[in-house]
Amino acid sequence: MIESILEQSKTQVDKASATVLVSDDPRMKRFIGEALLVGAILYLLQQYCSGFFKGLGLDDLGESHGKKARQFIKRIRKSKVTNEYLDPVKKDVEAAIQKARQQDATDLAVSKAESSVQETLVEAGVVRAQAVDIARGLSGIILGE
C-alpha cells in the first residue's frame, strides 16, 4: 500500500517543493534524488497523520507522529538517508495511514491534517497556493477520495 501512496503522492509533490523541505539552507538548492523525494513525501504524510489524529482528539497519537516527523526531517536534512533507513519509516507511515483510514474523517480532522501540511510547506518556502494544492492532493490520496 505505501508504495502506491508514494507513487500517487509524487504527482502532487513537485521536486522544487520537496527540495525546500529537505534543504536546511533555503538559499542552497541541491539536486534531489529519488530517496530524498520519497523522504520529503514521507515527512509530509507523517505531518498529515499527526494533524489528522489531533483533529480527532487523539492528541498523544498525533504528537507521537509529529515527533517522529521532526526527527525524520532532521536526519534527511543532514543527508543521512538511505533506502534502508526509509524502509522502517515507510512501514510506520503505512500503519498511520491505515489507522487514519479506519477513523471517521471528520471535517476538523481533515482540516487540521491539511493545515499541518500547508504550514510545513509554507514555513519551508513553498507558495501558500501550491501548499494548499499539495495538502488537498495528499488528503485525497490518504483518505481515498
Instruction: Quote the pTM value.
Output: 0.86
Check residue 30 and give its pLDDT: 56
* Cα–Cα distance, 100 to 131 (Å, whole number): 21
Name the percent of the chain in helix, strand, coil, to the closest 5.
75, 0, 25
As for how many domains the chain has, the answer is 1
Q: What range does the domain containing 62 cover?
A: 2-143
Write down the pLDDT at residue 20: 79
Q: Which amino acid is at 48?
A: Y
- Per-residue pLDDT 10s for the chain (145 aa) are 888 998 999 888 888 788 778 776 655 555 567 788 899 999 999 999 999 999 999 999 999 988 999 888 888 888 667 778 889 999 999 999 999 999 999 999 999 999 999 999 999 999 999 999 999 999 999 998 6
Please tell me the distance from the alpha carbon of residue 139 to that of residue 112, in angstroms, as a whole number: 11
Q: In the prediction, which pLDDT does 117 show?
A: 97
